[in-house]
């Protein structure tokens, strides 16, 4: 039998918070359990059948004061724990300026990650220590869950949608990555490693990777392969919306509504083009739902985000 795990590294800022919360809730519930055990065992011994203990009626004050007392106390304690650990920490952290955005695609049964400069990995993720990381994750098939116990992080990865995890690694080393949402036959084989490196080592590591392309470059290639330019290029015969500077601009929709062209909008526009039709254009674009894979869509979106106004493709 190999080594016996008795502790888990605290490898992120979140890990410290979670362990802190865990400690206090453990202490509070341990105290409650201890008091109850003492009372139950004490009563059991003192009032066992045949013991000489006094067994008269309860004192009058005992009844309602006690009940109302512990009801109120329990309510306050519950609200207190909620306020202390959830109300403040339940919402995701704010984005840091030097945030590192890594794209993660999950599929049965592997993790594919891609760094901003195009470095690709399978079942592995290298990140520099001390820098905030934002994982943008999507699934190609069923629901998976990105679980890194050492970071105390977990987030389900859904098909047709992207979910995010924002965290800051604080410790160097190699840590486990699991899939925590049951995803089929080889669910328990869907594992990986997260390598936290010094920033210098990360910079040195990046170029040595099986360097695919940057996500945006890959998106550019896909743009050409799918023939998007046939309609979207400035000189095209077909009238289609211009894509330069589209990201984060406000798009007027047919019917008068308007929408901000964020990641979700771009993704929907590729997969379900007739869902939100830009004002002044005909709904003629075909859906790329069955054509572009989840990672293709991520690449296309990354490419669209790089296009400046006027800098048309």
Partner 1 sequence: MSGAFLKPPFENLERQHVAVSFGMWIFLGSEILLFAGLFAGYGVYRNLCPDGFLAAGRETDIVYGTINTAILMTSSLAIAVAGRAARAGFGKMAWRLLIATIVLGLLFLVLKGFEYREDIEKHLIPGAGFPLAQKGAQIFFTYYWVMTGVHAIHVTCGLIAVGRLAVAGRRNLAWLAGSASEDATALYWHLVDVIWIVLYPLLYLTGRAHG
Partner 2 sequence: MSDVAHPAAPDHPATPGSAVPPDYLHDGHTLRSWLFTTDHKRIAILFALSITLFFFIGAIAISVVRLELVTPAGDLVSDDTYNKMFTLHGIVMVWFFLIPSIPATFGNFLLPLMIGAKDLAFPRINVLSWYLYVAGALLTVVTIIAGGVDTGWTFYVPYSTMFSNTAVLTAAMGVFVNGFSSVLTGVNFIATTHVLRAPGMTWFRLPLFVWAMYATSLVMVLATPVLAMTLLLIVVERWFDLPVFDASRGGDPLLFQHLFWFYSHPAVYIMVLPAMGVASELIACFARRRLFGYSFMVYALVAIAVIGFFVWGHHMFVSGQSPYANVVFSFLSFMVAVPSAIKVFNWTATLYRGSIGFDAPMLYAFGFLGLFTIGGLTGLFLATVPIDIHVTDTYFVVAHFHYIMVGGTVSAFFGALHFWWPKITGRLYPETLARIAAVLMFFGFNLTFFPQFVMGYLGMPRRYHVYPPEFQIYHVLSTSGAALLGVAYVMPLFYLIWSFRWGARAGANPWRAKGLEWQAPSPPPRDNFLTPPVVGEPYDYHPPEGPTAAEEQVA
Positions in the binding site for partner 1 (CB under 8 A): 268, 272, 274-276, 283, 287
How distant, in Å, are the alpha carbons of 109, 208, 215 from that of 118? 22, 12, 5
User: What CA–CA distance (Å, rounded) separates 152 from 145?
Assistant: 13
Of residues 29 and 279, the one with the C-beta less far from partner 2? 29
Among 117, 156, 193, 263, binds partner 2 (CB under 8 A): 156
Give yes or no for residue 58 binding partner 2 (CB under 8 A). Answer: yes
Closest approach of partner 1 to the CB of residue 274, in Å:
5
Strands 192-197 and 100-107: unpaired
Residue nearer to partner 2 on the CB measure, 220 or 296: 296
Pick from 100, 124, 172, 180: which binds partner 2 (CB under 8 A)?
A: 180
For Cα atoms 283, 250, 218, give the angle at the middle one, nearest 5 degrees. Answer: 70
Within 13 Å and on the Cβ side, how many CA atoms surround 116? Answer: 12
- Subset of residues 121 to 150 that bind partner 2, contact rule: CB under 8 A: 141-143, 145, 147, 149-150
In this complex, which beta carbon is closest to partner 1, that of residue 16 or of residue 264? 264
CA atoms within 13 A on the CB side of 310: 0
Our CB check for partner 1 shows the closer of 65 and 275 to be 275
Query: Of 125, 136, 183, 297, which lies in the binding site for partner 2, with binding defined by CB under 8 A?
Result: 183
Number of residues that bind partner 2 (CB under 8 A): 89
Measured torsion, CA atoms of residues 128, 126, 20, 99, in degrees rounded to the nearest 10: 50
Which of the ranges 26-34, 192-200, 205-213, 249-257 carries the binding residues for partner 2, by CB under 8 A?
A: 26-34
285 versus 307: smaller Cβ distance to partner 2: 285
C-alpha span between 27 and 81 (Å, rounded) = 12
Q: Which residues contact 194 (CB under 8 A, 6 or more apart)?
A: 124, 125, 126, 127, 148, 150, 151, 169, 174, 175, 176, 177
Please report the DSSP string for 25-43 in residue order: HHHHHHHHHHHHHHHHHHH
Closest approach of Cβ 275 to partner 1, in Å?
A: 4
Site string for partner 2, 82-101 (x = CB under 8 A): x--xxx-xxxx---------
Report if residue 200 touches partner 2, rule: CB under 8 A: no
Binding range to partner 2, per CB under 8 A, among 66-74, 124-132, 210-218, 225-233: 66-74
Distance CA 104, CA 83 (A): 33
Please, which of residues 227-246 interact with partner 2 by CB under 8 A?
Answer: none
142 binds, among partner 1, partner 2, none (CB under 5 to 8 A by kind): partner 2
What span, in angstroms and rounded, lies between the C-alpha atoms of 103 and 105?
7
User: In the range 242-301, which residues lie near partner 2 by CB under 8 A?
Assistant: 271-272, 275, 289-290
108 binds, among partner 2, partner 1, none (CB under 5 to 8 A by kind): partner 2
């Amino acid at each position: 039998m190999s080594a016996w795990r008795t502790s888990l590294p605290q490898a992120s800022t979140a890990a410290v918070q979670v362990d802190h919360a865990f400690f206090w809730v453990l202490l509070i519930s341990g105290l409650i359990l201890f008091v109850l055990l003492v009372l139950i065992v004490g009563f059991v011994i003192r009032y066992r059948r045949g013991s000489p203990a006094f067994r008269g009626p309860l004192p009058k004050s005992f009844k309602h004061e006690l009940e109302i007392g512990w009801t109120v106390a329990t309510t306050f304690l519950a609200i207190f724990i909620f306020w202390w650990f959830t109300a403040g920490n339940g919402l995701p952290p704010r984005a840091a300026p030097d945030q590192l955005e890594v794209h993660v695609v999950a599929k049965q049964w592997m993790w594919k990650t891609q760094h901003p400069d195009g470095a690709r990995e399978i079942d592995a993720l290298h990140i520099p220590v001390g820098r905030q990381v934002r994982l943008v994750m999507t699934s190609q098939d069923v629901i998976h869950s990105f679980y890194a116990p050492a970071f105390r992080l977990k987030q389900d990865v859904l098909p047709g949608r992207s979910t995010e995890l924002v965290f800051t690694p604080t410790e160097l080393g190699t840590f486990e990555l699991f899939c925590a949402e049951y995803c089929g036959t080889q669910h328990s084989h869907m594992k990986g490693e997260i390598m936290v490196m010094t920033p210098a080592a990360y910079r040195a590591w990046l170029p040595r990777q099986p360097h695919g392309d940057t996500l945006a470059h890959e998106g550019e290639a896909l743009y050409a392969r799918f023939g998007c330019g046939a309609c979207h290029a400035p000189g095209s015969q077909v009238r289609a919306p211009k894509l330069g500077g589209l990201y984060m601009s406000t798009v007027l929709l047919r019917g008068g509504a308007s929408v901000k062209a964020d990641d979700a909008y771009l993704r929907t526009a590729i997969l379900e083009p007739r869902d939100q039709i830009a004002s002044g254009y005909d709904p003629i674009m075909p859906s790329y739902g069955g054509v572009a894979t989840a990672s293709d869509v991520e690449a296309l979106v990354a490419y669209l985000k790089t296009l400046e106004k006027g800098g048309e493709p």
